[in-house]
Amino acid sequence: MNEIFQWAALVAILLLVLANYRQLGLMVTGTPEKRAYAFGPLVGKRAEDRLLSLFGQDGSNPWKVLVFVREDCSACEELLSRINEWAPGTTTDVQLAIVVNGKQEFAAQLGKQLSAASVYMVDSVLDEGNTLDGRPLLAYPFSIVMSSDGVVRHKQVGSDGDSLLEVVRGTARSQAPSEPGEDKEELPS
Protein backbone atom coordinates (compact mmCIF):
# COMPACT_ATOMS: atom_id res chain seq x y z
CA MET A 1 0.00 0.00 0.00
CA ASN A 2 2.87 2.36 0.85
CA GLU A 3 4.50 1.74 -2.56
CA ILE A 4 1.29 2.65 -4.40
CA PHE A 5 1.10 5.93 -2.49
CA GLN A 6 4.76 6.69 -3.34
CA TRP A 7 4.19 6.01 -7.06
CA ALA A 8 1.08 8.20 -7.06
CA ALA A 9 3.01 11.00 -5.32
CA LEU A 10 5.86 10.66 -7.85
CA VAL A 11 3.44 10.92 -10.81
CA ALA A 12 1.72 13.95 -9.22
CA ILE A 13 5.08 15.70 -8.67
CA LEU A 14 6.14 14.90 -12.24
CA LEU A 15 2.91 16.41 -13.62
CA LEU A 16 3.39 19.50 -11.45
CA VAL A 17 6.96 19.98 -12.72
CA LEU A 18 5.82 19.59 -16.36
CA ALA A 19 3.00 22.12 -15.84
CA ASN A 20 5.49 24.58 -14.32
CA TYR A 21 7.84 24.20 -17.30
CA ARG A 22 4.93 24.82 -19.67
CA GLN A 23 3.95 27.99 -17.80
CA LEU A 24 7.56 29.16 -17.80
CA GLY A 25 7.77 28.53 -21.54
CA LEU A 26 4.59 30.55 -22.19
CA MET A 27 5.92 33.41 -20.06
CA VAL A 28 9.21 33.47 -21.97
CA THR A 29 7.94 32.95 -25.53
CA GLY A 30 4.32 34.14 -25.30
CA THR A 31 1.22 32.38 -26.54
CA PRO A 32 1.07 31.13 -30.13
CA GLU A 33 -1.46 33.87 -31.01
CA LYS A 34 0.79 36.61 -29.63
CA ARG A 35 3.75 35.19 -31.54
CA ALA A 36 1.64 35.14 -34.72
CA TYR A 37 0.95 38.89 -34.38
CA ALA A 38 4.71 39.55 -34.47
CA PHE A 39 4.60 38.79 -38.22
CA GLY A 40 4.67 41.72 -40.58
CA PRO A 41 4.87 45.42 -39.88
CA LEU A 42 3.74 46.72 -36.51
CA VAL A 43 0.35 48.40 -36.17
CA GLY A 44 0.86 52.13 -36.64
CA LYS A 45 4.01 51.65 -38.76
CA ARG A 46 4.27 51.87 -42.54
CA ALA A 47 4.35 48.55 -44.37
CA GLU A 48 7.40 47.82 -46.45
CA ASP A 49 7.34 48.58 -50.15
CA ARG A 50 7.19 44.97 -51.30
CA LEU A 51 3.86 44.52 -49.49
CA LEU A 52 2.51 47.80 -50.81
CA SER A 53 3.58 46.89 -54.36
CA LEU A 54 1.01 44.06 -54.28
CA PHE A 55 -1.69 46.71 -54.62
CA GLY A 56 -0.16 48.45 -57.64
CA GLN A 57 0.13 52.19 -58.12
CA ASP A 58 -3.59 52.96 -57.83
CA GLY A 59 -3.88 55.16 -54.77
CA SER A 60 -7.57 55.96 -55.23
CA ASN A 61 -8.72 53.35 -52.69
CA PRO A 62 -8.32 54.57 -49.12
CA TRP A 63 -7.85 51.07 -47.65
CA LYS A 64 -5.79 48.00 -48.49
CA VAL A 65 -6.49 44.52 -47.11
CA LEU A 66 -3.80 41.85 -47.40
CA VAL A 67 -4.86 38.29 -46.54
CA PHE A 68 -2.50 35.31 -46.23
CA VAL A 69 -4.19 31.93 -46.77
CA ARG A 70 -3.15 28.30 -47.06
CA GLU A 71 -4.68 25.80 -49.45
CA ASP A 72 -5.49 23.05 -46.94
CA CYS A 73 -6.94 25.36 -44.27
CA SER A 74 -10.65 25.20 -43.38
CA ALA A 75 -10.46 28.52 -41.49
CA CYS A 76 -8.97 30.10 -44.63
CA GLU A 77 -11.82 28.75 -46.75
CA GLU A 78 -14.33 30.18 -44.28
CA LEU A 79 -12.67 33.61 -44.36
CA LEU A 80 -12.41 33.59 -48.16
CA SER A 81 -16.08 32.70 -48.56
CA ARG A 82 -17.01 35.59 -46.25
CA ILE A 83 -14.69 37.97 -48.13
CA ASN A 84 -16.26 36.78 -51.39
CA GLU A 85 -19.66 37.89 -50.02
CA TRP A 86 -18.61 41.42 -49.08
CA ALA A 87 -15.64 42.26 -51.30
CA PRO A 88 -17.63 43.26 -54.39
CA GLY A 89 -19.60 45.81 -52.35
CA THR A 90 -16.49 47.44 -50.89
CA THR A 91 -14.15 47.52 -53.87
CA THR A 92 -14.55 51.28 -54.20
CA ASP A 93 -13.11 51.71 -50.69
CA VAL A 94 -10.84 48.68 -50.38
CA GLN A 95 -8.12 47.08 -52.48
CA LEU A 96 -7.81 43.38 -51.74
CA ALA A 97 -4.69 41.23 -52.18
CA ILE A 98 -4.53 37.55 -51.28
CA VAL A 99 -1.27 35.68 -50.78
CA VAL A 100 -1.64 31.92 -51.23
CA ASN A 101 0.51 29.19 -49.71
CA GLY A 102 -0.42 26.28 -51.95
CA LYS A 103 -0.58 25.09 -55.52
CA GLN A 104 -0.76 27.41 -58.51
CA GLU A 105 -4.12 25.89 -59.48
CA PHE A 106 -5.61 26.92 -56.14
CA ALA A 107 -4.35 30.49 -56.64
CA ALA A 108 -5.85 30.57 -60.15
CA GLN A 109 -9.18 29.33 -58.78
CA LEU A 110 -9.13 32.08 -56.14
CA GLY A 111 -8.34 34.66 -58.80
CA LYS A 112 -11.47 33.63 -60.73
CA GLN A 113 -13.61 33.41 -57.60
CA LEU A 114 -12.48 36.77 -56.18
CA SER A 115 -12.19 38.88 -59.31
CA ALA A 116 -11.84 42.08 -57.22
CA ALA A 117 -8.67 40.72 -55.59
CA SER A 118 -5.09 40.39 -56.74
CA VAL A 119 -3.79 36.88 -55.97
CA TYR A 120 -0.10 36.07 -55.42
CA MET A 121 1.88 32.98 -54.51
CA VAL A 122 3.53 33.12 -51.09
CA ASP A 123 7.05 32.48 -52.42
CA SER A 124 6.84 35.61 -54.59
CA VAL A 125 6.00 37.77 -51.55
CA LEU A 126 7.79 36.32 -48.53
CA ASP A 127 11.36 35.23 -47.93
CA GLU A 128 12.37 31.59 -47.70
CA GLY A 129 10.62 29.86 -44.82
CA ASN A 130 7.59 32.18 -45.14
CA THR A 131 9.30 34.98 -43.26
CA LEU A 132 9.16 38.75 -43.54
CA ASP A 133 12.10 40.60 -41.99
CA GLY A 134 13.10 37.35 -40.28
CA ARG A 135 9.72 36.90 -38.56
CA PRO A 136 7.83 33.78 -39.67
CA LEU A 137 4.17 33.60 -40.61
CA LEU A 138 2.91 31.23 -37.91
CA ALA A 139 -0.85 31.21 -38.37
CA TYR A 140 -3.33 31.14 -41.24
CA PRO A 141 -5.45 33.00 -42.18
CA PHE A 142 -3.62 36.22 -41.35
CA SER A 143 -5.00 39.61 -42.40
CA ILE A 144 -3.45 43.09 -42.44
CA VAL A 145 -5.49 46.27 -42.98
CA MET A 146 -3.56 49.32 -44.22
CA SER A 147 -4.55 52.88 -45.02
CA SER A 148 -3.80 54.38 -48.44
CA ASP A 149 -0.44 55.70 -47.16
CA GLY A 150 0.60 52.15 -46.24
CA VAL A 151 0.29 52.49 -42.48
CA VAL A 152 -0.89 49.29 -40.80
CA ARG A 153 -4.16 49.93 -38.98
CA HIS A 154 -5.10 46.39 -37.93
CA LYS A 155 -3.89 42.77 -37.88
CA GLN A 156 -6.09 39.72 -37.48
CA VAL A 157 -5.48 36.01 -37.09
CA GLY A 158 -8.44 33.75 -37.78
CA SER A 159 -11.47 33.18 -39.94
CA ASP A 160 -13.82 35.78 -38.50
CA GLY A 161 -14.79 37.48 -41.74
CA ASP A 162 -17.50 39.52 -40.03
CA SER A 163 -14.94 40.96 -37.62
CA LEU A 164 -12.62 41.82 -40.51
CA LEU A 165 -15.49 43.47 -42.36
CA GLU A 166 -16.35 45.51 -39.26
CA VAL A 167 -12.73 46.65 -39.02
CA VAL A 168 -12.61 47.57 -42.70
CA ARG A 169 -15.94 49.41 -42.64
CA GLY A 170 -15.37 50.89 -39.19
CA THR A 171 -11.87 51.98 -40.10
CA ALA A 172 -13.05 53.39 -43.41
CA ARG A 173 -15.72 55.46 -41.64
CA SER A 174 -13.65 56.68 -38.71
CA GLN A 175 -10.18 57.02 -40.21
CA ALA A 176 -10.65 57.59 -43.92
CA PRO A 177 -8.86 60.63 -45.29
CA SER A 178 -11.12 63.69 -45.26
CA GLU A 179 -12.25 65.45 -48.38
CA PRO A 180 -10.99 69.01 -48.79
CA GLY A 181 -13.07 71.35 -46.65
CA GLU A 182 -14.26 68.66 -44.23
CA ASP A 183 -13.37 68.82 -40.57
CA LYS A 184 -11.11 65.99 -39.48
CA GLU A 185 -12.24 64.00 -36.46
CA GLU A 186 -9.62 63.07 -33.94
CA LEU A 187 -9.63 59.42 -33.10
CA PRO A 188 -9.72 58.33 -29.47
CA SER A 189 -6.37 57.02 -28.33
* Residue 136 resides in a domain: yes
More confident residue, 17 or 32: 17
pLDDT averaged over the chain?
Answer: 78
* Residue 105 resides in a domain: yes
What domain range includes position 142? 34-175
- Number of structural domains (the chain) is 1
Query: What percentage of the chain's residues is helix, strand, coil (to nearest 5)?
Result: 45, 20, 35
Tally Cβ neighbours within 10 Å of residue 15.
10
* Residue 4 resides in a domain: no
pLDDT in tens, 163-177: 777 777 774 444 433
| Cα–Cα distance, 163 to 183 (Å, whole number) | 28
Give me the CATH number covering residue 66: 3.40.30.10
**pLDDT band at residue 33 under the 50/70/90 scheme:** low
